[in-house]
Amino acid sequence: MKRQKIVDIRPTTVTVPLKAALRHANGCHWGRFVRTLIEVETDQGLIGLGELGGGGESAEAAIRGLLDYLRGHDPFAVEDLRWKIANPTASLYNNRTQLLAAVEFACLDIMGQALAVPLYDLLGGKLRDRVPFASYLFFTYPVAGREAVDVRTPDQLVAAARALRESHGFRSHKLKGGVFPPAHELACFRAMAEAFPEDRVRFDPNCAFSLDQALRFGHAIADLNNDYYEDPVWGLNGMRQVREAVGIPTATNTVVVTFEQLAANIRDPAVDVILLDTTFWGGVRPCVKAAGACETMQLGVAVHSSGELGVQLATMLHLGAVLPNLGYAADAHYHHLTDDVIEGGPMVYEGGSIRVPDGPGLGVTLDRDKVARHAELYRELGGYPYDRDPARPGWFARTPNEDWADPGLEYTFKL
């Protein structure tokens, strides 16, 4: 086989609307996701796809800046690629993990196309045909002109979970918290868990709780059918104290996202379940490597979501397909999207899971018309103030239990 060389790297930033504005501890997804797609082309005409979150013009500039650096690079040389883009020995000067991930996705896609095999075969072969997902529920604002989705109360949350359970088949339900006072979110979470007692549940307040709040909340949900308690507080020391006191497995996608942090957690355990994100860890291959370490050290793993479109979702599916120690349903924001940029439209949930693509490489291709449409929407709307929630203008300086958002406040979001 003739070796290939990279000849071009093209970024395109797109905006894809959400069904509702998703609220979380650190602000609000403003009714849309901004993602940057990349296309890596070789001298033999193959085009590999990658994706990273947000960024807009800055992400595009960073991607374009890689071309002179990577022109002529062999897309099969992905280990050499890691050292070129994100040299771990120069980490003080180099914060390029998501750029590396996006280019790695594209190179793996090219490798699969060149060899006419799906990505999972390059990773050791698939162990499952479908990857299960959790419902991933948020407190939300309805968006003007779209299907009305307003989730603030226990009844509204239960209704949202039931609708997703019936339409998509989810049997595991995750609530993103840190928006309302802990007592209110506790009532909501317990109502959801008690509505579906045979299903699994998980809670993630995005590190918004103080240690005292995290301990109180954890003890109050300990009797439920919990998968894990995700990032109730920030930092390994805080997570360690929660783990020792509460008795629910802890999970993170914030404080164990590098191999150095994984080693620290193995030496002095604070987190039981490592949530592997193909962007945050720098690609699919690092996630497979981390999963192997977790298997050896008896840590759980799950696949994490960072607000994906179909390209990144494909990487998540291939990752989930090959991990022997995948013990939990994956996260995905995917069902909150109104559209996707891949041919065939959004991937379909069946029985709470999505089938792993079997085509060469990632197994997905871009719908050029949809890419153009959503790129134009990005140019029209621009980026978004990710950390601003209209009902919580001072969320970063709030006093716990006093200045949190009022669950009675109604607000209709306008793009």
3-state secondary structure 72-131: CCCCCCHHHHHHHHCCHHHHHHCCCHHHHHHHHHHHHHHHHHHHCCEHHHHCCCCCCCEE
Residue 402 lies in a domain: no
The pLDDT of residue 205 is 96
User: Which residues form the domain of 251?
Assistant: 122-363
Distance CA 364, CA 206 (A): 31
Residue 410 lies in a domain: no
Residue 279 lies in a domain: yes
Out of 168, 173, 176, 370, the active site residue is 176
Q: How many domains does the chain have?
A: 2
219 and 309 together in one domain: yes
Here the tokens at position 221 are 């949900």
Q: What's this model's pTM, rounded to 2 decimal places?
A: 0.94
Tell me if residue 304 is catalytic: yes
The pLDDT of residue 412 is 63
256 and 377 together in one domain: no
Tell me if residue 176 is catalytic: yes
Residue 158 lies in a domain: yes
Here the tokens at position 222 are 């300990």
Residue 403 lies in a domain: no
255 and 268 together in one domain: yes
Residue 54 lies in a domain: yes
> 3-class DSSP state for residue 189?
helix
Residue 390 lies in a domain: no
Residue 406 lies in a domain: no
374 and 242 together in one domain: no
55 and 175 together in one domain: no
Domain containing residue 243: CATH number: 3.20.20.120
Out of 24, 126, 304, 336, the active site residue is 304
- Please report, in tens digits, the pLDDT of each residue of the chain (415 residues total): 788 999 999 999 999 999 998 999 888 887 899 999 999 999 999 999 999 987 767 889 989 989 998 999 999 999 998 888 887 665 544 568 889 999 999 999 999 999 999 999 999 999 999 999 999 999 998 887 777 678 999 999 999 999 999 999 999 999 999 999 999 999 999 999 999 999 999 999 999 999 999 999 999 999 999 999 999 999 999 999 999 999 999 999 999 999 999 999 999 999 999 999 999 999 999 999 999 999 999 999 999 999 999 999 999 999 999 999 999 999 999 999 999 999 998 999 999 999 999 999 999 999 999 999 999 999 999 887 666 777 777 776 666 555 566 676 666 656 5
182 and 294 together in one domain: yes
113 and 233 together in one domain: no
Domain containing residue 48: CATH number: 3.30.390.10
Distance CA 404, CA 179 (A): 7
